[in-house]
C-alpha cells in the first residue's frame, strides 16, 4: 500500500518569491508520482508527473519537481510565483504495476500569494 504526506497544509508567500511545497511518500513497490493543482471552485488539473528517467521533472506554469528515491520525496518548486498560482496543490502516487491505475492523494497544500 502507498501513502502520501504533504507536510504543510498552508504556505503563504509573497509574489515573485520562490516556493517549495513538500511531499513525501511511502511505498513498498515502484511508483509513479504526480502533482495536481486545483484552482478555486474547479476540478484537478495535472501539473507534472514522474514516470521514469530524469529525476527533475518540469511541468506547466513554470513548476518543477525532483524525485528523490533515497528520501522518498517529490517536492514541488517554482522560482518566482504569481498571484495566479494561488490554488491548492496535491501530491499523489500510484503503483506502477497496478492495472487499476488507482492514485493515492495527499491532503493538499494551500498556496496563498501575497502582493
Partner 1 sequence: NAGVTQTPKFRVLKTGQSMTLLCAQDMNHEYMYWYRQDPGMGLRLIHYSVGEGTTAKGEVPDGYNVSRLKKQNFLLGLESAAPSQTSVYFCASSQTSSEQFFGPGTRLTVL
List residues binding partner 1 (CB under 8 A).
4, 9, 32, 34, 36, 42-46, 49, 51, 90, 94-96, 98-103, 105-108
**Residue closer to partner 1, measured from CB, 53 or 115:** 53
DSSP string, the chain: --EEE-S-SEEEEETT--EEE--EEE-SS-EEEEEEEE-TTS-EEEEEEE-SS-SEEE-GGG-EEEEETTTTEEEEEESS--GGG-EEEEEEEEETT-TT--EEE---EEEEEE-
Nearest distance, CB of residue 74 and partner 1, angstroms: 15
Nearest distance, CB of residue 102 and partner 1, angstroms: 6
**Residue closer to partner 1, measured from CB, 46 or 56:** 46
Nearest distance, CB of residue 11 and partner 1, angstroms: 15
**Residue closer to partner 1, measured from CB, 41 or 70:** 41
Cell numbers at 52, concatenated = 521514469
Gap between the Cα atoms of 32 and 95, Å rounded: 6
**Residue closer to partner 1, measured from CB, 82 or 102:** 102
Nearest distance, CB of residue 61 and partner 1, angstroms: 17
Amino acid at each position: 500500500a502507498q501513502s502520501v504526506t504533504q507536510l504543510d497544509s498552508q504556505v503563504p508567500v509573497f509574489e515573485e518569491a520562490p516556493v517549495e511545497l513538500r511531499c513525501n511518500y511511502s511505498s513498498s513497490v515502484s511508483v509513479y508520482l504526480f502533482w495536481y493543482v486545483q484552482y478555486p471552485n474547479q476540478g484537478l488539473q495535472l501539473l507534472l508527473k514522474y514516470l521514469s528517467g530524469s529525476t527533475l521533472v518540469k511541468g506547466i506554469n513554470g513548476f518543477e519537481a525532483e524525485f528523490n528515491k533515497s528520501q522518498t520525496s517529490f517536492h514541488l518548486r517554482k522560482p518566482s510565483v504569481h498571484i495566479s498560482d494561488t490554488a491548492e496543490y496535491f501530491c499523489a502516487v500510484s503503483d506502477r504495476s497496478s492495472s487499476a491505475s488507482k492514485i493515492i492523494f495527499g491532503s493538499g497544500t494551500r498556496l496563498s500569494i501575497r502582493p
